[in-house]
């Protein structure tokens, strides 16, 4: 049976998941495209699959066939995918490990996706998204991560609460400040063994109240003609140096 009606209740509920408030309400989200669906299946988060009629996909999970018009309604992509999946959010709430990345009000979905990929690449244990950091399950974030978000502990917590909790673990907190910090390359191997790196908002950097809670501010030494780097690029460089 192929779902062809845009008024189908299941389809209407999927379309609602394009909005954050419905993702939060249902604790579910959508992913689009074969690669992301396969990554989510490996992670065990897929609840249900929706496949374009006349397409094939091998899976033991429930597959619903849909018409082109229905898939177009569900999808947020310009080029309609052949497959989307309904997934359950992770319920991670604990800070694990001793290499932690705190994102203080990161707004751009592409930046967040880039940062998540770099965090996995350079062995971060936990990513903490502050209260006003963009939604992990925003479709643009999910696409930018290319499924990598499934391979790291990601939690949401107010920045100040996170810093207080991390300090109790005797883990050093490194803020980032191009004007008032120490050269990243001056850190010792011991200082790189255990840390929480705080990266701030694209326009304003780390909030002042959070900077004041940090043990040390660091910066990347670079050509003086360049005032600053994109937060995704800067975070990747710092994580590489810390690794």
pLDDT tens for each residue of 179-218 = 777 888 888 898 899 999 999 998 888 998 999 999 999 9
Q: Is the pLDDT of residue 82 over 90?
A: yes
Identify which of 78, 46, 84, 79 has the alpha carbon closest to the alpha carbon of residue 65: 84
Distance CA 236, CA 232 (A): 6
Do 152 and 127 form a contact (C-beta atoms < 8 A)?
Answer: yes
pLDDT one-digit tens code per residue, 94-134: 999 999 999 999 999 999 999 999 999 999 999 999 999 99
- State how far the alpha carbon of 50 is from the alpha carbons of 68, 94, 99, in Å: 11, 32, 38
5 in Cβ contact with 11 (< 8 Å): yes
């Amino acid at each position: 049976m192929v779902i062809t009606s845009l008024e189908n209740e299941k389809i209407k509920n999927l379309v609602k998941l394009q909005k954050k408030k419905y993702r939060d309400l249902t604790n579910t989200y959508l992913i689009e495209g074969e690669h992301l669906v396969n990554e989510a299946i490996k992670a065990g988060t897929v609840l249900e699959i929706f496949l374009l009629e006349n397409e094939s996909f091998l899976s033991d999970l429930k597959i619903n066939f849909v018409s082109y018009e229905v898939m177009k309604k569900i999808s947020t992509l310009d080029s309609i995918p052949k497959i989307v999946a309904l997934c359950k959010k992770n319920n991670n709430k604990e800070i694990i490990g001793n290499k932690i990345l705190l994102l203080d009000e990161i707004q751009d979905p592409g930046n967040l996706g880039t940062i998540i990929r770099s965090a996995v690449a350079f062995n971060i244990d936990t990513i903490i998204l502050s209260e006003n950091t963009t939604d992990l399950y925003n479709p643009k974030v999910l696409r930018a991560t290319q499924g990598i978000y499934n391979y790291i502990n990601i939690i949401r917590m107010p920045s100040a609460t996170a810093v207080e909790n991390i300090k109790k673990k005797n883990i050093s907190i490194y803020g980032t400040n191009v004007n008032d910090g120490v050269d990243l390359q001056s850190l010792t191997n011991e200082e790189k063994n255990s840390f929480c790196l705080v990266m701030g908002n694209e326009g304003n950097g780390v909030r002042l109240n959070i900077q004041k809670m940090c043990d040390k501010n660091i910066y990347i030494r670079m050509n003086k003609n360049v005032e600053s780097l994109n937060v995704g690029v800067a975070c990747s460089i710092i994580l590489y140096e810390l690794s």
